[in-house]
Structure 1
């Protein structure tokens, strides 16, 4: 049983504010990659698509002199930490099962190792799928965050993905 859909997430003002900040086109593309990868890695497609869709919800805009500064971002950003907290709170507010909300938040927390000290981290399958989905859509210099998509198109694609997830559960 699904408690929260991707369209419900998309429609929420918190998602509109923070996912748009980091790139709605990227978020939708990652959700689709996660759906495909979930099948390959035997992961729940509902959790994978939600985590991939929300993985960058914690982004902060790093600007210097009115311009986006990719180096500041790479050096100081902790968006995965903020995103895990923000996504968890959003999912709980929308009525997601607490266990599922926690697993999604942990996958968001661990979708990147850019803020972690050097070393190896063994990811659980869901966490690995979300990291792979993000990598599958990345472009050099963070350009994937600047692709655009209309709200209508994004909502339509997420509705289609919701149907695929429902058919897969």
Structure 2
């Protein structure tokens, strides 16, 4: 039994604010990829889809002279840190299991290495699934953040994912630690 559905997360005003800023179409696409990868690799799809949906909610818009500055973003961005914090706070507020909220936040924190020092990390399978799902939807120059999706379509997609997750055996929803 899940404490919080993906639809509840998606519909919250805080999620809506930051999903719109970072690219709703990208968030939805990454969420769909994460579901498929979670099933494939035996990861809790509830945690994977929530982390994927919220993975970019920490984005700050980097502009120079009123124009999006992708190079400035790549050089200065720490969105995964801010996003992990925002996601954790939102999930706890919604009533998510604290351990699940922490796992989701850590997957968001580690979905990109753009701000990390050189070297390799030993990531959990959940963290790898979220990173791979994000990479599957990337476009050159950050174009994936600017694609559009109809909000009705986005909500229906999220609701369908909730239905798929609810139909899975409970063993698929165990903690992914």
Q: Please, what TM-score do these two structures have when normalized by structure 2? A: 0.94
Tell whether 2:34 aligns with 1:34. yes
Partner of 1:60: 60
Unaligned runs of 5+ in 2: 170-177
Alpha carbon RMSD of aligned pairs, Å?
0.7
Tell whether 2:87 aligns with 1:92. no
Task: Kindly tell me the number of residue pairs found equivalent between the two proteins.
Answer: 169
Preserved CA contact (<8 Å) 1:22 1:59: yes
Partner of 2:44: 44
Mean CA deviation greater in 7-16 or 74-83: 7-16
Structure 1, residues 89-109: CA drift from partner, whole Å, max 9, x if none?
000000000000000000000
Structure 1, residues 127-156: CA drift from partner, whole Å, max 9, x if none?
000000000111111100001112111111
Equivalent positions of 1:143-154 (< 5 A) are 143-154=143-154
Preserved CA contact (<8 Å) 1:25 1:154: yes
Distance, in Å, in 1 between the alignment partners of 2:5 and 2:144 is 24
Preserved CA contact (<8 Å) 1:45 1:168: no
- The structural deviation recorded for 1:40 is 1.6
- The structural deviation recorded for 1:20 is 1.0
Structure 1 moving runs of 4+ over 2 Å: none
Unaligned runs of 5+ in 1: none
Structure 1, residues 56-115: CA drift from partner, whole Å, max 9, x if none?
010000011000000010000000000000000000000000000000000000000000
Partner of 1:76: 76
Q: Please, what TM-score do these two structures have when normalized by structure 1? A: 0.98
